[in-house]
Structure 1
Amino acid sequence: MSTPGQTQQETAGEAAQDLVIEDRGHVRVLTLNRPQRANALTPELMAAIAEAFVEAGADPEVRAIVVTGAGDRAFCGGFDLKARHEADQAGKPFVYLMSTRERFVFEVIYETYKPVVAAINGAAVAGGFELALACDLRIGEEHAVFGLPEAKRGMGAHFATVMLPRAIPRAHALDLLFRSEYIDAAKAESIGFLNKVVAKGKALDEAMAWATQIAGNAPITVRRMKETASKASGLPASAALRLNEGVNPYLSEDRVEGIAAFVEKRPPRWKGR
């Protein structure tokens, strides 16, 4: 968080250091870079993440996004409660995240139409659990732990309260929310939160393999799938089946190219149109 006397430019510079952005082919990798604080979220870091997702969504060269954390201890430990405690002691008001002028960072991630893979390299708890939840696919390392301790902290877990029962069976979701107990990676996979558990140090490699495979598919089709799946959630089937989100792949140049490549037994050359 910013300290007295800091300029906005200095604060933005710190946020940039706290989020490392790199491109690997058509995959953009975002790394939370605060390992000394369990990659905990600050308002500045959350703003930087949201901005990075908006930019990735607008970049035609980016076809998939991977989110991970620095180090091997934590993917993300949630909101920086030490910093918040200092702010409370200083009498600074708490600004509820959903009440800010900008969209909530987890909403931005969830609504980004490009597939997002979480490479969970360590603990994903509280806001870190919600960060992983906002992603589409989740690869977790075997030593990682997961949980929502908000009920023990007097916090809210608003995003998880709404979205977790849509991602995993309701009884498991409410168990995590109500009892605030941590679970290990094997349990997280068994209840459907994780797509796959890998050895320690292998989450990013596996997530990159998945994201690269996704990026090799027709971008218009993948975009359509992501947008439709997101916006169909909660709708009656009759309404969901009539959604027409994004560019229609059946009418695209890539549909012609995909069929031609199959018939000619060669890799397709996607144009994204």
Structure 2
Amino acid sequence: MSGPILTRREGAILEVTIDRPKANAIDLATSRLMGEIFRGFRDDPDLRVAIVTGSGPKFFCAGWDLKAAAAGDAVDGDYGVGGFGGMQELRDLNKPIIAAVNGICCGGGFEIALSADLILAAEHATFALPEIRSGTVADAASIKLPKRIPYHIAMEMLLTGRWLDAAEAHRWGFINEILPAGNLMARAWDLARLLESGPPLVYAAIKEVVREAEGRDFQTVMNKVTRRQLQTVDTLYASEDQLEGARAFAEKRDPVWKGR
């Protein structure tokens, strides 16, 4: 696919690249396109893992396109099926997503990275929530970030807009690995291939249980799991893959996952 979003498919892996020079900022049309792409990823049984990254060496994504906003794109406009960036509000997105942060990651771009399950960053990557300086609120980050890192660090980022380098981001725990820029995508693909070989029904159950656990007490969520009240858990426990896992262990061989 050509245009503001590039896609590459290899096996069960989909790579999604934001390609809007110079800053890979996202306008309404691009957000809607990303929603269609991630909905397609969610609904395609032959796809198991996605990687999201930015084009070029400088920007992962600068977030909301302020130039488009100044030209008439409403900040509260139609972002598309998955909300801003296509995935952070997409229901039942139960497949693993890796963010490969190749440079500046700020505002809505940072929120897109936070929507991924694993975040890899190039050594020169930087992170910020500068919305405070443009008179708006980093809404998704205000919800997510204080749950991911120490409250006072999250509030400092939200209230001051200060920048963090990759080393500090790793220290606070919101990125998994720091890599030389030249190794970033190779590592992302290695990790994607590892996940591609894993049990997709288990991944789906993990993601739904984690979502259910946000803001709920332990026992309430455990009761939902044990009573098979979550769709992905019920599907997993009744699946061929559940039996295959036990058989492979007993037979001392690698399991063959079918996703059913």
Q: TM-score, normalised by structure 1?
A: 0.86
Measure, in 1, the Cα distance between the counterparts of 2:80 and 2:35: 13
Offset at residue 245 of structure 1 (A): 2.3
Contact 1:144/1:184 (<8 A) preserved: yes
Helix, strand or coil at the partner of 2:182: coil
Alignment of 1:270 with 2:257, yes or no, is: yes
Q: What CA distance in whole angstroms lies between the structure 2 residues aligned with 1:78 and 1:117?
A: 18
Partner of 2:37: 52
The answer on 1:104 being equivalent to 2:91 is no
Structure 2: 5+ residue runs without aligned partners?
Answer: none
Give the aligned partner of residue 162 of structure 2.
181
| SS at 1:227 equivalent | helix
2:230 aligned partner: 245
Q: Which moved more, 1:226-235 or 1:108-117?
A: 108-117
Superposition deviation, residue 107 in structure 1: 2.7
Select the residue among 26, 43, 58 that pairs with 2:28.
Answer: 43
Letter paired with 1:258: G
Residue 101 of structure 1 deviates from its aligned partner by 7.5
Q: Which residue of 1 aligns with 2:53?
A: 68
- Residue 257 of structure 1: CA displacement? 1.2
Cα distance in structure 2, aligned partners of 1:110 and 1:258: 28
Quickly say closer, same or farther: Cα 1:116–1:110, change in 2 above 3 A. farther
**Per-residue Cα deviation, 1:239-262 (whole angstroms, up to 9, x for no partner):** 111233233323211011122223
Q: Does residue 115 in structure 1 map to residue 85 in structure 2?
A: no
Amino acid paired to 1:104: G
Q: Give the corresponding residue for 2:146.
A: 165
Matched, 1:94 2:79: no
Instruction: Tell me which amino acid in the other structure corresponds to 1:74.
Output: F
Name the CA distance, whole Å, in 2 between partners of 1:171 and 1:110.
30
Aligned partner (choices 4, 15, 19) of residue 5 of structure 2: 19
Q: Does 1:235 align with 2:199?
A: no
Deviations 1:97-123 (A, max 9, x none): 5x7685523533585111111000111
Q: Please, which of 110, 123, 136 is the counterpart of residue 129 of structure 1?
A: 110
1:31 to 17, 26, 47: 17
Is structure 2 residue 213 aligned with structure 1 residue 226? Answer: no
Rate the CA distance shift 1:175–1:109 in 2: closer, same or farther, 3 A. Answer: farther
How many residue pairs end up in the alignment?
252
Q: Percent identity?
A: 34
CA distance in 2, matches of 1:65, 1:104: 18
The whole-number CA distance in structure 1 between the counterparts of 2:73 and 2:203 is 42
Q: What secondary structure does 1:108 align onto?
A: coil
How far apart are the structure 2 equivalents of 1:208 and 1:259?
29
Q: Which structure 1 residue ranges, 5 or more long, are not aligned?
A: 1-12
User: What is the match of residue 5 of structure 1?
Assistant: none
- Aligned partner of residue 231 in structure 2, secondary structure: coil
Equivalent residue, structure 2, for 1:144: 125
Q: Within the alignment, does 1:254 sit opposite 2:241 as a pair?
A: yes
SS at match of 1:202: helix
Give the superposed CA RMSD.
1.9
Moved more, 256-265 or 184-193: 256-265
The offset of 1:82, in angstroms, is: 2.1
For residues 115 and 57 of structure 2, the distance between their equivalents in structure 1, rounded to whole angstroms, comes to: 21
Equivalent residue for 1:10?
none
Question: CA separation of 1:222/1:145 partners in 2, compared to 1, >3 Å: closer, same or farther?
Answer: same
Give 1:195 shift: 0.8
Q: Distance in 2 between matches of 1:190 and 1:156?
A: 25
**Residue 223 of structure 2: SS of its match in structure 1?**
coil
Evaluate the alpha carbon distance shift between residue 253 and residue 101 of structure 1 in structure 2; reply closer, same or farther with a 3 A threshold.
closer
